């Protein structure tokens, strides 16, 4: 799900989602029913209730309220139900290529490691920090401490900074992002 300014609309459902779920719409009652393969159905009403992430936060730049809705909770449940991918037999010899890298292990340093070389007379742009909720602030501190300790990041020497924020993942955890 993407957080966008929907104007007066409560939700926008894309064609791929509608085609995959083939919901039953009752226009008079304002309901949308999704029949699951388990013969259970969930009903989403016109006024979907929301559960705030701790305290709702408003981004003053675009006045968006970030929250978890019933639809987000359903998407997270559906993601958990999906079976894990099984590696076909013909690829078993290459299983290490498909495995996630172990945490805390970086590839060896190479001559072409990433660097941004600034031009002379560079004037840094002003970038305001995004407001973070208390849980996001705690997650940011934890992320920075862990990654400094593991050597994945280092203190910046750059005169330019970029705002930092989080995006919710399907499993409910937070993905740190930088707005370059």
The answer to whether residue 59 is domain-embedded is yes
**Residue 1 shares a structural domain with residue 63:** yes
Task: Dump pLDDT digits (tens) for 115-166.
Answer: 778 888 888 888 788 888 898 999 999 999 988 888 778 888 788 888 888 9
Domain that residue 12 falls in: 1-83
Residue 83: per-residue pLDDT: 64
**Residue 11 shares a structural domain with residue 73:** yes
The answer to whether residue 26 is domain-embedded is yes
The answer to whether residue 36 is domain-embedded is yes
Backbone angles phi, psi at 20, to 5 degrees: -70, -40
Q: Which residues contact 121 (CB under 8 A, 6 or more apart)?
A: none
Residue 145: per-residue pLDDT: 92
Q: Tell me which of 83, 107, 142 is where a domain ends.
A: 83
The answer to whether residue 68 is domain-embedded is yes
Helix (H) or strand (E) holding 138: helix 134-149
Mean pLDDT of residues grouped by 10 in the chain (180 residues)?
60 77 83 64 43 42 48 72 75 79 66 78 84 90 88 81 87 86
Residue 8: per-residue pLDDT: 64
The answer to whether residue 96 is domain-embedded is no
**Residue 137 shares a structural domain with residue 60:** no
Q: Which of 125, 128, 123, 116 is nearest to 163 (CA)?
A: 128
Number of structural domains found in the chain: 2
The answer to whether residue 103 is domain-embedded is no
The answer to whether residue 95 is domain-embedded is no
**Residue 74 shares a structural domain with residue 148:** no
**Residue 70 shares a structural domain with residue 134:** no
The answer to whether the CB of 23 falls within 8 A of the CB of 9 is no
The answer to whether residue 115 is domain-embedded is no
> Whole-prediction pTM value?
0.40
Mean of the per-residue pLDDT values of the chain: 72
Give the whole-angstrom CA distance, residue 37 versus residue 107: 44
**Residue 79 shares a structural domain with residue 129:** no
């Amino acid at each position: 799900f993407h957080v966008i300014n929907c104007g007066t609309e409560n939700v926008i459902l894309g064609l791929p989602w509608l085609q995959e779920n083939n919901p039953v719409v009752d226009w008079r009652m304002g309901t949308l029913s999704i029949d699951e393969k388990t013969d259970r159905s969930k009903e989403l009403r016109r006024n979907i209730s929301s559960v705030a992430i701790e305290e709702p936060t408003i981004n003053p730049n675009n006045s968006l309220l970030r929250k978890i809705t019933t639809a987000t909770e359903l998407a997270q449940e559906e993601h958990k139900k999906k079976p894990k991918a099984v590696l076909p037999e013909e690829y078993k010899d290459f299983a290490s290529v498909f495995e996630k890298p172990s945490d805390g292990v970086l590839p060896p340093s190479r001559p072409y490691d990433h660097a941004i070389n600034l031009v002379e007379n560079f004037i840094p742009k002003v970038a305001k920090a995004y407001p973070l909720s208390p849980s996001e602030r705690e997650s940011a501190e934890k992320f920075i401490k862990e990654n400094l300790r593991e050597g994945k990041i280092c203190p910046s020497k750059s005169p330019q900074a970029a705002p930092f924020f989080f995006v919710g993942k399907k499993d409910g955890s937070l993905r740190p992002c930088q707005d370059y």
